[in-house]
Amino acid sequence: MASALDALRDMTVVVADTGDVDAIRELKPVDCTTNPSIILKALQSPAFADMVSSEIEKGSKAGKTPLAIADALTVGVGTELAALVPGRVSTEVDANLSFNTAASVEKARALIAAYEANGVGKDRILIKLASTWEGIRAAEILEAEGIQCNLTLLFAQCQAVACADAGAFLISPFVGRITDWYSKAEGGKTFAAEEDPGVLSVRKIYDYYKSNGIKTVVMGASFRNTGQIKALAGCDRLTIAPQLLNELAADSAELPRVLSEDKASGVAKVEMDEARFRWELNADAMATEKLAEGIRNFDADHQKLLKMIAERM
């Protein structure tokens, strides 16, 4: 009997939200997506122990900084993951560059060059950037150079509109984090899938994109339960943690398609400029808080990685 995961794969590209090599081998996703938290966890696992020791030793002898070694390790993990999936590996630009367009572009180019030196072409990599105004502008430059991007930490419609205008290849709206914020704001309320704020946010973005012929891929991310995933069945892509993938694989219930291009409502295209973007983001307390929190947390894990390397040099 087909599982809910099998049914989901018939209508949505499934991406693994993990850097766990064993999980990726078992679950066989098309793509995998990483962030600093995932990279830090991966590098602390036995699977990458030899790589970590080797890169730190080589970097120390060559007089490299902890940051340069961290970049080598990040690309090393990404290279290993690229050998396990047929599609793309997302690799994130440092969170502390989220408000610096030029530095983000420079780091992205360096990451792509490092991948190419490892035999992984840029067609196998998505550069992840925070969906700040500056991050979106960096994506616009990179996309024009043929370096495709994944705009992450996306919580508001204005971010989605600006990413589409910039020609971003893919966006990652964070379903669970949106829901977390509204649940806390409403005294711990639990939302059914059809009223879940995170689910509704992605549906609104998907409808806007399909109504206006926008090619940017919508990839729902940061799920808290399989109900949220099922409520977005048919979305272009969904990046899902191994635990939830396993739950879907064990679920034999029928999974109907919820989202499809032919159901687009015909919502009008929005003209977005910097002033409107900043105002609408500022007016959305949830999006403002979760974007800032996400950048801080990713940077905190990046700093932990740098400290780990420095202590071992």
Cα separation, 157 vs 204, in Å, equals: 8
Q: ∠ CA(73), CA(75), CA(81), 5° rounding?
A: 105
For 99-111, the DSSP string reads: T-HHHHHHHHHHH
For 40-68, the DSSP string reads: HHHHTSGGGHHHHHHHHHHHHHTT--HHH
Cα separation, 93 vs 111, in Å, equals: 8
Question: Averaged over 107-130, what is the pLDDT?
Answer: 96
Per-residue pLDDT tens digits for 94-104: 999 999 999 99
Model confidence band, residue 289 (pLDDT cutoffs 50, 70, 90): very high
Percent of the chain exceeding pLDDT 90 equals 72
Cα separation, 274 vs 7, in Å, equals: 41
User: Is 240 within 8 Å of 15 (Cβ atoms)?
Assistant: yes
Task: Indicate whether 35 pLDDT > 80.
Answer: no
Instruction: List % helix, strand, coil for the chain (3-state, nearest 5).
Output: 60, 10, 30
Per-residue pLDDT tens digits for 15-32: 888 777 788 888 778 887
Task: Indicate whether 84 pLDDT > 70.
Answer: yes
Task: Indicate whether 50 pLDDT > 90.
Answer: no
Closest CA to 166 of 184, 177, 150: 150
Check residue 1 and give its pLDDT. 65
Task: Indicate whether 90 pLDDT > 70.
Answer: yes
Cα separation, 286 vs 273, in Å, equals: 21
Check residue 123 and give its pLDDT. 95
Cα separation, 234 vs 213, in Å, equals: 17
Check residue 60 and give its pLDDT. 85
Model confidence band, residue 265 (pLDDT cutoffs 50, 70, 90): very high
Q: What pairs with residue 239 in β-bridges? A: 15
Question: Averaged over 273-297, what is the pLDDT?
Answer: 97
**Structure tokens of 24?**
């990726």
Per-residue pLDDT tens digits for 132-164: 999 999 999 999 999 999 999 999 999 999 999
User: Is 150 within 8 Å of 138 (Cβ atoms)?
Assistant: no
Q: What is the pLDDT of the chain when averaged over all its residues?
A: 92
Model confidence band, residue 2 (pLDDT cutoffs 50, 70, 90): confident
Cα separation, 67 vs 270, in Å, equals: 40
Residue with the bigger pLDDT between 43 and 213: it is: 213
List the catalytic residues. 128
Q: How many residues does the chain have?
A: 313
Domains detected in the chain: 4-312 (3.20.20.70)
Task: Indicate whether 311 pLDDT > 80.
Answer: yes
User: Is 128 within 8 Å of 90 (Cβ atoms)?
Assistant: yes
Percent of the chain exceeding pLDDT 70 equals 99
Query: Looking at 58-62, 105-109, 158-162, 265-269, which range is the least confident one?
Result: 58-62
